[in-house]
């Protein structure tokens, strides 16, 4: 399995960016997907996660109303849509297969969750 997040870059505050998560050797449909991020000097945090049936989503309070997630089953891709970006959104973003998704949180499941390579997002003027 190869999992790759892409689409990061330098963006001005207030602008939008879309991150993509692609997988080879694995079908992203009907499985929980999470986007996590880690900023320098900070702990890793779950940003937005969705369960396998797309019936439950978890949003970090810091991105509620600004970020959303979508799947493109035909392309085997998952996207993180980020609007109204803030400097505090600067981090390396990772897509994760099969996190534990709850309405109150989203968690890495050691031994079950699979992490791909991240993509850097820098929000700066």
**pLDDT digits 0-9 by tens, 77-91:** 999 999 999 999 999
Q: With contact defined as beta carbons under 8 Å apart, do 15 and 122 qualify?
A: no
Query: 55: alpha, beta or left, given left = phi > 0 and alpha = psi -120 to 50?
Result: alpha
Average pLDDT over residues 85-104: 95
CA angle 23, 26, 27 (to 5 degrees): 95
Q: Which two tokens stand for residue 32?
A: 């929980």
The mean pLDDT of 37-61, rounded to a whole number, is 94
Task: Tell me: pLDDT of 112 over 80.
Answer: yes
pLDDT of residue 24: 86
Question: What pLDDT, in 10s, does the model give residues 42-51?
Answer: 999 999 999 9
Which residues are CB-contacts of 7 (< 8 A; sequence separation ≥ 6)?
A: 17, 18, 19, 20, 119
Question: pLDDT grade, residue 27 (50/70/90)?
Answer: confident
CA distance 118 to 121: 10
Place of tokens 């079950």: 112
Instruction: Give yes or no for a contact between 109 and 100, defined as CB atoms under 8 angstroms apart.
Output: yes
pLDDT at 25: 83
Average pLDDT rounded to a whole number, residues 101-118: 90
For the chain, what is the mean pLDDT?
A: 94
């Amino acid at each position: 399995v190869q999992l790759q997040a892409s689409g990061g870059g330098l963006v001005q505050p207030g602008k939008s960016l879309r991150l993509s998560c692609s997988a080879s050797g694995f079908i992203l449909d009907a499985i929980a997907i999470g986007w996590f991020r880690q900023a320098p000097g900070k702990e890793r945090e779950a940003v937005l996660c969705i369960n396998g049936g797309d019936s439950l989503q978890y949003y970090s309070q810091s991105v509620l109303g600004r970020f959303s997630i979508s799947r493109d089953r035909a392309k085997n891709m998952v996207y993180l849509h980020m609007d109204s970006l803030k400097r505090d959104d600067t981090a390396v973003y990772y897509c994760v297969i099969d996190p534990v998704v709850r309405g109150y949180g989203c968690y890495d499941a050691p031994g079950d969750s699979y992490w791909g390579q991240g993509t850097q997002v820098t929000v700066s003027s």
